[in-house]
A and B are shown apart, each in its own frame.
Chain A
Amino acid sequence: MKELSYDAVVIGGGAAGMAAALELEAAGRRVAVVEREERLGGILGQCVHNGFGLIEFDEELTGPEFAERFEDRLSARPIEAFLGCTVLELEVEGEAKVVSCVSRERGVMRLRAQAVVLAMGCRERNRGNIRIPGSRPAGVYTAGLAQRLVNVEGYVPGKDVAIIGSGDIGLIMARRMSWIGCNVHAVVEIMPYPSGLTRNIVQCLRDFDIPLYLSHLTTDIYGRDRVEGIEIAPIENGALVMEKAFKIPCDTVLLSVGLVPENELSRKAGVSINPMTNGPWVDSFLMTSVPGVFACGNVLHVHDLVDYVVEESRRAGRFAAEWLAGRRPSRELRVKAGANVRYVAPGRIEPGRDNKLYLRSMIVKNDAVLEVKLDGKPIRSVKKGHVQPSEMITIALGAADLVALAAQPDSTLEISIQ
């Protein structure tokens, strides 16, 4: 069994992992990236539609193109990328962390490092997670699996499709399935508003005349060997109205019902998880509860744009490099989600420095106001033309915003939406 040593090991070679690794290397650190697939880029490889890179590259790229640009940057630098290599375990041995991983070519390796960056991304919620009753026939896929089958493997999972959940991958797949000649009969959403980006509702559903059933619950998936249809019923005033239930015949069900950060490895290593995001609790350095273990991208919280993932992950890479150089946050403020805010990440910021926060609204509202309070006192308010849960909100809080204020040692910053 091989043992290798690095300054930092990045787990996951998607957009997050690559961005973090590049920053660590730029700071002069010896870095290894461990990726379970045979190539870098993560899920971007199957996202052949465009819309990636508007912020990062100021142009519209497809997923594979976006990934390729980062791969090129990575391969130009002395960064070790272990491909086809699955991490088995992350252990903390005193100051050091040991990442055990296995691959075809190298067998089991133990990679030792002072810092580890978690960048494993997320997985799709499935039928069991949202407890859709019914039979268990062939033809029920998560939207991401269907996307893989169509875009990479070249197979058509089914011809007559119903999509449960209006997440972005589901919307993208509604369009993709229509393009390859399938009939998409419905997109069914339990909430009164779509859970995907507005641009996807317009470009993927309206342009194809695909009906969107808001406030509808899927009450049954039926069919013995292969899916024969689903039954859905409206939710009115919070109650399911079974008398109005109706059937939608189809041979395929795609599920786009949310994403969950993949933190089983983190949990087993002792990292504390925030139940609101299912990602690790992190401080102003994007460092988890285990010193020297950092987290970024969709393993920290689910982002809606890869551009945001990259931005956050760069910071995680830089913070990890600073931490390796011995710097620690001088003082931190706790960040709290206030009214109408689902969560704010990270949960701590350092007042003496420029900070960037990501948050998600719990409400749909036009002309909303983002209120920032420090120990109950309003310090900033930002007007937002429109907020909705599916669109992540970013806010930058610079040193100027915070440092001038005579904050107490255990001050709390609260962000709410009014």
Chain B
Amino acid sequence: MGGGASGPGDSFDVAIIGAGVCGANIARRLSSYELDVALIDKEADVSFGVSKANSGIVHGGFHHNKKYLKARLEIQGAMMFDRLKAELDFPFARCGIVVVALHEDEMRAVEQLYSQGVENGVIGIEMCSRERMLELEPRLSRDALGGLYAPGGGIVEPYRFVFSLVESAVKNGVRVFKDWKAASARREGEAWVILAEDGRSLRARYVVNCAGLYADEVSRAFGAEDFSIKGRKGEYYLLDKLTRAKPDRVVFPVPTSISKGMLIVPTVEGTVLIGPTASEVEGKDDCSTTRSELETILRSARNMIPDISETDVITSFAGIRPTLGEDYYIEASGLVPALIQVAGIQSPGLTASPAIGEYVKDLLKKAGLRLVEKPDWDPFIDKMPRTRELSGYELDALVESDPAYGEVVCRCERVTEAEIVEAIRRGHTTLDGIKYFTRAQMGRCQGGFCTYKILKILMRETGMGWDEITKHGRGSTVLRGEL
């Protein structure tokens, strides 16, 4: 995907600000029409904001009432994932979701969730007795009284989903601008001129603001609605693949008034994620974890699955959800022309995102954008072999065609040099970008063995010097000198 420079001559039909899961879905949806589309992001890679650190759940459609836009988009979005996976080759599985009640009054809350699920048309949702619950998930606490089972819920690797969407969009003509922070905008004739912090600019007839945590700042930069996005931090622990505590389905506690509670998620890649906490934060870029919150996660998760052990922890991280009001704010601006606001996309944003792509496409059409389908739109991206998923025979054949598949760089997640090179060629040129694309540095040694190898491959493939290699762009340089 091109990280191309933009000149004053760059003119687009639509500019999408923010390359998270919403921006990526919108870009990909618009790529099927005869339109010039720009997808811009202030970070060094796509999916480096809210979309990189969340629970990675395709929700079950029973947590929210249909009167909310977010519930309707959630239900619609959830149903779009199977087709998207077939087209875009990202890790996704419908493993199912259970909600576990540990007390009598929690059981009553579960019944409400069940009724809401039935009302929302959730397929296959069922109430579970204690026996049924423990049959589904034998590792659950003996204190489980019962709960709810939604077989259609699923798990997804959120950054890989975004990477695939963006790759598909780029394949169909969308241009991506990274390290491009939209700082101000002005009307010039029938178009917007957006100015980047570093003086670059581009023109667009329509603009979509899906800047996540910073959607409020972007709105103000356009002279549009004045609102305020609050960050709600969620901290997580990631457990080793070899943990004994891995459930088969996503395990939810009974939700509270502010969050869906702390979950136990068997990730598509085989690790287990526990969390998130929910705490309001002042700074929107403070992704630090705290001792007390992390203790809370372990305690809460052990209530549901007592086998969870702190010796299984391989890392912790935090993500920040952008909260605005009770519902999503997805509308054309009432104050300025040709600006669509996509803001406050907290949970279940990932699930809803494909439907948000459709919804925003319709809003743009209503605002006057002409949509003409491209006859040659290609929904598929090139599938990439993942060494860890191959049989010996398949890997042997691959090494024959490209010996770099015989060089295992990351032992914990079994990632070969060929896959690292492919990540770099697809535009992921930071250590974190390579990590999210390939999983190298994501396993139990957390990069202890492979980081220096990746540094060398990165320098070789990109021609970057040692002082240009970063963890996640900007000032995150990895090396400080040469001997």
Contact = CB atoms under 8 A, between A and B. Distances in A.
A84 interface: yes
Given A128-B316, A131-B313, A133-B291, A251 B452 contact: no
A270 B446 CA distance: 25
Contact of B408 (A36, A100, A131, A267): A36
A135 B477 CA distance: 15
A4 B199 CA distance: 63
Contacts of A159: 480-481
Nearest to B288: A135
Interface stretch (A59-67, A143-151, A386-394): A143-151
Nearest to A150: B483
B288 A134 contact: yes
Given A134-B288, A158-B480, A129 B313 contact: yes
A153 B408 contact: no
Interface in A149-200: 149-150, 152-159, 180
A361 interface: no
Contacts of B448: 123-124, 126, 142, 144-145
- Greatest chain A CB density within 10 A among B411, B412, B482 is at B411
B320 to A, nearest CB: 12
A19 B221 CA distance: 68
Main secondary structure of the interface of B (DSSP, over half): mixed
B455 to A, nearest CB: 8
B314 A222 contact: no
A383 interface: no
A138 B476 CA distance: 5
A102 B406 CA distance: 6
Contacts of A134: 288-289
A155 B466 contact: yes
A127 interface: yes
Given A104-B406, A149-B452, A222 B399 contact: no
A180 B482 CA distance: 10
Nearest to B407: A104
Contact of A138 (B286, B314, B400, B470): B470
A14 to B, nearest CB: 13
B476 A127 contact: no
A124 B452 contact: no
A251 B392 contact: no
A47 to B, nearest CB: 15
A133 B288 contact: yes
A157 B451 CA distance: 12
Contact of A148 (B395, B444, B452): B452
Contact of B399 (A107, A123, A219, A224): A107
B285 interface: yes
Interface string B443-460: 011111101100110000
Interface string B299-314: 0000000000011011
Given A155-B466, A156-B481, A110 B392 contact: yes
Interface residues of B, number: 57
Interface of A is mostly: mixed
Interface string B388-432: 000011011001100111111001101000000000000000010
A88 B414 contact: yes
B258 to A, nearest CB: 22
B216 to A, nearest CB: 20
A127 B476 CA distance: 18
A145 B477 contact: no
A137 B476 contact: yes
A102 B414 CA distance: 11
Interface string A94-112: 0000001011111110100
Contacts of A224: 285, 475
A156 B313 contact: no
A86 interface: yes
A136 interface: yes
Contacts of A124: 445, 448
A60 B38 CA distance: 63
A159 B481 CA distance: 8
A226 interface: yes
Contacts of B5: none
A360 B313 CA distance: 25
A88 B414 CA distance: 8
B472 to A, nearest CB: 7
B403 A102 contact: no
A276 interface: no
Given A1-B392, A108-B395, A225-B472, A127 B479 contact: no
Interface of A: 1, 36, 84, 86, 88, 100, 102-108, 110, 123-124, 126-129, 131, 133-139, 141-142, 144-145, 148-150, 152-159, 180, 219-220, 222, 224-226, 251-252, 264, 267
The 10 A-B residue pairs with the shortest CB-CB distance, nearest first, are A156-B481, A128-B315, A138-B471, A225-B475, A86-B408, A108-B396, A104-B406, A138-B476, A225-B476, A107-B399
Given A84-B407, A105-B403, A131-B313, 6 more contacts: A133-B288, A134-B288, A138-B478, A141-B451, A155-B482, A159-B480
